[in-house]
Amino acid sequence: MAQDFILPVRRAILPRMKGFAALTALIPPGSMWPSTVPASRTFPFTRFGSISATPFRASGLNSSALRISIQAFSQALLNAGGATIATAEDQILKIGSAIKDALDGATLTLEGNAGKVRLTWIGSSPQRDGDEASAWMTTVTFLAEVAG
C-alpha cells in the first residue's frame, strides 16, 4: 500500500539545506524554515512552498512521488554605508541556484530508516516579491521519488 511521505521527506530536506555550505554562505541555517516563518524574520530566508504527493499504487511497493517547492526570499545586499553590493534579484538568483545545487540528485534517508528519497530539480521561478516592494523571491521545485 502506498504511503504519504510528505512529513518525512520535509524532515530529510531541511537538514540537507542547512548543512550545504554554498547555501549557508547566502542564508544562515537559522533562517531556513519548514513552512511558517515568524513575523520577526529577517531577509534572506527560505520556507517550504506547496507539496503534493502521488502514490505508486501499481508498483505494489510502499512508495510515492512528491512535487515539492522551496521558496526563498531576499532583499538587496548592502554594505555598512548602505550602498548596494548586489541587487535583490541577483541575490535571489544565487540563492535559487544554491538550493538547486543542494538538493538536485540527492538521495536522502528518511527518519526511522523508513526508506530513501531521490530528489530531481524540475524548475525555478524567480520573481519580484508581491508583499515586499524591495524584495525578490524564487520558487525552486523538485520531484521527490520515495521508495519505502
Q: What is the pLDDT of residue 4?
A: 79
Question: How far from 40 is each of 17, 27, 43, 72, 75, CA to CA, in Å?
Answer: 22, 16, 10, 16, 15
Mean pLDDT score of the chain, rounded to an integer? 91
Name the pLDDT band for 141 (thresholds 50, 70, 90).
very high
DSSP 80-131: TTS-EEE-HHHHHHHHHHHHHHHHTT-EEEPGGG--EEEEEEEEEEEEE-TT
Pick the CATH number of 6-33+43-147 from 1.10.730, 3.30.2000, 1.10.10, 3.30.450: 3.30.2000
Backbone angles phi, psi at 19, to 5 degrees: -105, 5
Is the pTM here over 0.85, yes or no? Answer: yes
Rounded percentage of the chain residues whose pLDDT exceeds 90: 70
Distance CA 134, CA 148 (A): 43
Give residue-wise pLDDT tens across range 48-66: 999 998 887 665 667 789 9
Instruction: Give the range with max mean pLDDT: 22-31, 54-63, 74-83, 111-120.
Output: 22-31
* Domain spans of the chain, in order of start: 6-33+43-147
Give residue-wise pLDDT tens across range 15-25: 999 999 999 99
